[in-house]
Amino acid sequence: MIPVHRALATLAATLALAAALVDARPAIDAATLAAEIEQDRDHISAPELAERIMRRDPDLRLFDLRSREDYEAFHIPSASHATLDELARTTFPRQASIVLYSEGSAHAAQAWVLLRLRGVRKVYFLREGVYEWIARVREPRLAVDATPGERAEFERAVALSRFFGGMARTSVPRSEVPDGYWTGTASRDVPSRAAQAIANVRRRGC
């Protein structure tokens, strides 16, 4: 073999080996992400998040993706403010469990995709954003005609609400209990309801 060829082959082999070493993790394909979304593995419920905050889960990293002003006005305890750009550049420890929330779910869902594509494994978001936190953790409501299932869930919610300085309310008219409240299923006009809910929190001044 001609010395130049030998040198070029060695250079190619070195560069290729280095490529495999610096980029060892396979890219996450769209099908994997689609399956995670289909199987509801992309989100966490507000009560589940509350319980993790209560037991001071060391791996939990909570990010508020709303504007800085909204964050200053109200945020979930232990949450840090972050923009999508900051999230895209932050590096997380391997075992970190990241929870994202925004006004509704769109922004947080975009951030979820972004972090999953970067190879961060444990990423979740609140499906109904900050509103879900207020409705299900801070100010849970029990309808006058509540079912036994709702009553059982409410007891758990009262404990959480007390811990986070909220106020649970019982015997409210069914019309004041929002759609999908206990099930956590997505509902419409979340951003406007979130703004209303935050305004109410502040008005009470606690």
Partner 1 sequence: MSPLSETGILGPAGVLLTAPLIGFAFGWFLERGGLGDARKLAGQFYFTDLTVFKVLFSALLTAMLGAFWLDRFGLLDLELVYLPETFVLPQAAGGVLFGAGFLVGGLCPGTSCVAAAAGRIDGLGIIGGMLLGVAGFNAAFDWIAPFYDSTALGAVTFTDMAGISRGAGVALVTAIALAGFAVASRLERQRP
Q: Is 4 in the site for partner 1 (CB under 8 A)?
A: no
Residues 28-47 that bind partner 1 (CB under 8 A): 29
Q: Is 111 helix (H, G, I), strand (E, B) or coil?
A: helix
Kindly tell me which of 13 and 34 has the beta carbon lying closer to partner 1: 13
Q: Which of residues 20, 40, 85, 93 is near partner 1 by CB under 8 A? A: 20
Q: Which of 152, 201, 147, 196 is nearest to 174 (CA)?
A: 147
CB 180, min distance to partner 1, A:
36
Say if CB 92 and CB 120 are below 8 A apart: yes
16 makes contact with partner 1 (CB under 8 A): yes
Among 3, 4, 26, 58, which residue sits at the site for partner 1 (rule: CB under 8 A)? Answer: 26
Q: What is the rounded CA–CA span in Å between residue 100 and residue 128?
A: 11
CA distance 144 to 183: 18
Question: Interface with partner 1 by CB under 8 A: which range of 14-22, 68-76, 91-99, 148-156?
Answer: 14-22
DSSP annotation of 2 reads -
Instruction: State how far the Cα of 168 lies from the Cα of 191, in Å rounded to an integer.
Output: 22
Strands 97-101 and 80-81: unpaired
The footprint of partner 1 on this chain (CB under 8 A) covers a number of residues equal to: 18
Q: Which residues pair with 98 in a beta bridge?
A: 61, 123
Q: Name the residue nearer to partner 1 (CB basis): 31 or 206.
A: 31
**Smaller CB distance to partner 1: residue 5 or 203?**
5
Q: Which stretch binds partner 1 (CB under 8 A): 1-9, 57-65, 160-168, 194-202?
A: 1-9
Query: Whose CA is closest to 164, among 101, 103, 206, 108?
Result: 206
Asked if 108 and 196 count as a contact pair (C-beta separation under 8 A), the reply is no
At its nearest, how many Å lie between partner 1 and the CB of residue 29?
5
Q: Which lies closer to partner 1 via its Cβ, residue 12 or residue 144?
A: 12
Q: Does 1 bind partner 1 (CB under 8 A)?
A: yes
Contact (Cβ atoms closer than 8 angstroms) between residue 65 and residue 100: yes
Nearest approach, Cβ of 107 to partner 1 (angstroms)?
22
Q: Does 3 bind partner 1 (CB under 8 A)?
A: no
The secondary structure of residue 66, as a DSSP letter, is S
Q: Return residues touching partner 1 (CB under 8 A).
A: 1, 5, 9, 12-13, 15-17, 19-27, 29
